[in-house]
Amino acid sequence: MSALRPRIHFTARQHWLNDPNGLVYAGGRYHLYYQFNPRANDHGYMSWGHATSPDLLTWTEHDVALPWREGHDVYSGSAVVDWQGTSGLGQPGDPHPPVVAMYTGAGDHHQAQYLAVSRDGGTTWAFATPEPVLDEGKQDFRDPKTFWHAPSAQWISVVVHPVERQIGVYGSPDLHGWQTLSTFGPAGGVDGIWEVPDLFPLMDQTGRERWVMKVDVFAGAPQGGTGAQYWVGDFDGRAFTPTQQARWADWGKDFYAAVTYSDLPQSGRCVWLAWMNSWDYATQLPTHPWRGAMTLPRDLGLVPDGSGWALTQTPVQELDALRGESTALHGHGQEVEVTPGQPLDLTLSVPFGSSLTLTFTSAQGMEARLGVDGGQLTLTRPGPAGVAGFAGTHTVPLPTHSSDLDLRVILDACSIEVFAYGGQISVTDLLLPGSPIHRLTLDGAVTGEVWTLRPVMPDWNDSAAGESAEDQTVGR
């Protein structure tokens, strides 16, 4: 396994990966489909790659689920279990209800929405409709997120109109025939085109159901470039009505195309994950034979924050089972030596009004520095030669609180994910260490604990796939 290959985050064994697609629990497994180039390490020949997991963390990669074919790229979309058989795509005697994917087929300056079906619990797939089921005759019209809306007894799909900065809301009784119900936007951040919408319910702390509309922006995010924004509001089966202004879902540089899981076995649970990357430099990352990783899956919730409702994100509870040895943290110049490249899980409490500096160091020097001071959080990372726009300091305003600041920090070989105030703030950044991180240094009044995390990704031999050890050493 190379020095940059994540140990607890999903990567494909080889080739290019971007947006998660078709996240669904079916056939007793969590399925992760994703934008994938089965031929090379850059964006092209778009297909749906496929991996499954029993626990959202331990992934097994499978054959391509929906392959590219001449004139038909398989772009992003979603998957649902058709429990009631409304689609007519199942057959008598099937061991599972049909799993139906609605995806964007792209070619010849035209994008429209198509169906594919799996009759064995999401394992193998067939293209279900030679013609699109939803077509606006447009060049840019993509990324359907589809779900069953029980109160209105219909399927709902939100599909983005990227150039217009709008999201179309469509309804269907059977996933085949669709009608326009409403249009949302432009609103919030509109500096760049919109992509990858999602619409999902969450219970607030009073037990009331609220709805969250999420869409990604191609420019204008907090650290520049791509990012994700969301609104909290109401959905009546036809239109989404926001009840507060747009907010950023993540304050880092590398959080894009997050989508929620369908048909989770735990009632009321909501989980999503995102592509951990930025289009500012995604094609420049010095990894081989793979390129692209997913964030950790995250449990979602809603909490009041004085000016409305804040979306919370926390690493899925299953991550706790990977914890191993622990070390108490107390700050004041404390140094903690760790096995080079070891995944870590830190919990920290910073007293109200205090400051913190947490530095991650390799044999090459500082690889990341997390700071808290004066009502803001900063995350600094150096950048390797040849990856423009990577190095810098990312500044995050913290909510006004009169209590201690809780932080959770997840470190992997090439990433850091920070969660503050119970997940009201998340910061997701890639790292490209010159060599594996082996030391933590804490300055400031802080208490906490750091756990080692058991690696769960396969120990692929990247060198055997055509990469030398030198190829994974990042120079500065």
What contacts 100, CB < 8 A, 6 or more positions away? 79, 80, 81, 82, 87, 89, 115, 116, 117, 118, 128, 175
Closest CA to 87 of 133, 26, 21, 123: 133
353, β-bridge pairs: none
Among the listed residues 19, 216, 250, 254, the single catalytic one is: 19
Closest CA to 429 of 388, 363, 386, 380: 380
The distance between the two most distant Cα atoms of the chain, rounded to a whole number of Å, is 67
Three-state secondary structure call for residue 284:
helix
d(CA 163, CA 181): 20
Structure tokens at 187: 């609103």
Question: Which amino acid makes up residue 431?
Answer: L
Count CB-CB contacts under 10 A for residue 463.
15
Instruction: Return the percent helix, strand and coil in the chain, to nearest 5.
Output: 5, 50, 45
Q: Catalytic annotation on 19? A: yes
Radius of gyration of the CA atoms of the chain, in A: 22
Structure tokens at 89: 């795509």
What contacts 436, CB < 8 A, 6 or more positions away? 3, 340, 341, 362, 413
Measure Cα distances from 301 to 56, 317, 404 in Å: 18, 13, 21
CB 462 within 8 A of CB 427: no
What positions carry a catalytic annotation? 19
